[in-house]
């Protein structure tokens, strides 16, 4: 029997899932790898993996898919690791540098600009190292571990999880476990148990990761910033976000 291959992002927020994959006593043949959100999606679409933790915006590009719908990377308010940074209030900025690593956060930024702040700023594509250009009237969207490390360096920090909550009253879903084919029943059961094992072991994950994130409150981030349960409110939020994507893209934003 061929191995069931899984790809995850390599950010701190995915570490409980990775802990479960690493330490759960699987009976099935499981193999996992880590990469950036964009590359994880590419691996899934190229058939290199069977299941991937992908940015939720990917769902807008698919007609049929299967979710491991017990878990996600979500937030019920401030997420701490998806933020707009600026030296001036956002209404006094004229452009936003968009993080090249995340389609979901880019689309969320555009939605918030249109519906929440009602501002018409220029969106600028980026590549590695763009964080140095966040200055004067240029704001920057930064995600993941880099955002956690930047929070103390800018006067103005807009947490997109918190801003989405202000707009909609709902939590937000940043990433979901997605397969292009139905997940075999036995493997799905083991994966659910493995991921729950990882979440239940979050104190051990925190102890392992604190050394690599000096100056960052890893415990607060993993227990208060990130919410891993994929519940009814998150399903509603995800559907609303996908509807907004259609609206924004139709308007050519």
Contact 160, 79 (CB under 8 A): yes
Residue 245: pLDDT band by 50, 70, 90 thresholds? very high
**CATH 3.40.190.10 domain extents, the chain:** 4-76+172-231, 82-168
Residue 249: pLDDT band by 50, 70, 90 thresholds? confident
Residue pLDDT, tens place only, 10-27: 899 999 999 999 999 999
- The fold of the 4-76+172-231 domain, in CATH, is D-Maltodextrin-Binding Protein; domain 2 (3.40.190)
Alpha carbon distance 156, 246 (integer Å): 30
**Exposure string over 3-13, b if 16+ CB within 10 A, otherwise e:** ebbbbbbbbbb
Alpha carbon distance 142, 101 (integer Å): 9
Residue pLDDT, tens place only, 129-148: 999 999 999 999 999 899 99
As assigned by CATH, the class of the 82-168 domain is alpha beta
In a 3-state reduction of DSSP, which class is residue 82?
A: strand
pLDDT at 199 over 70: yes
- Cα dihedral across residues 116, 121, 125, 127: positive or negative: negative
Q: How far apart are the first and last CA of the chain?
A: 47
Compute the mean pLDDT over every residue in the chain, rounded to the nearest whole number.
Answer: 94
User: Which pLDDT score is estimated for 253?
Assistant: 58
pLDDT at 252 over 70: no
pLDDT at 1 over 60: no
């Amino acid at each position: 029997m061929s191995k069931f291959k899984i790809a995850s992002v390599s950010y701190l927020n995915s570490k409980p899932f990775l802990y479960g994959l690493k330490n759960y006593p699987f009976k099935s043949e499981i193999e996992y790898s880590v990469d950036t959100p964009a590359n994880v999606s590419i691996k899934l679409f190229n058939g290199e993996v069977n299941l991937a933790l992908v940015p939720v915006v990917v769902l807008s590009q698919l007609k049929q898919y299967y979710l491991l719908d017990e878990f996600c990377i979500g937030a019920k308010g401030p997420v701490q690791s998806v933020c707009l940074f600026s030296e001036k209030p956002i209404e006094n900025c004229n452009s936003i540098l968009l993080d090249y690593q995340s389609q979901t956060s880019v689309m969320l930024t555009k939605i918030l600009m249109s519906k929440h702040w009602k501002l018409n700023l220029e969106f600028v594509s980026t590549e590695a190292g763009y964080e140095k250009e966040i200055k004067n009237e240029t704001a920057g969207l930064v995600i993941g571990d880099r955002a956690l490390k930047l929070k103390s360096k800018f006067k103005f920090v807009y947490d997109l999880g918190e801003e989405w909550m202000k707009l909609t009253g709902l939590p937000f879903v940043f990433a979901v476990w997605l397969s292009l084919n139905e997940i075999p029943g036995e493997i799905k059961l083991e994966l659910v148990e493995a991921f729950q094992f990882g979440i239940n072991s979050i104190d051990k994950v925190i102890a392992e990761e604190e050394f690599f994130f000096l100056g960052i409150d890893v415990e607060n981030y993993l227990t208060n910033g990130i919410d891993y349960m994929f519940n009814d409110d998150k399903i509603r939020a995800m559907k609303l976000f996908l509807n907004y994507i259609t609206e924004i893209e139709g308007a050519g934003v």
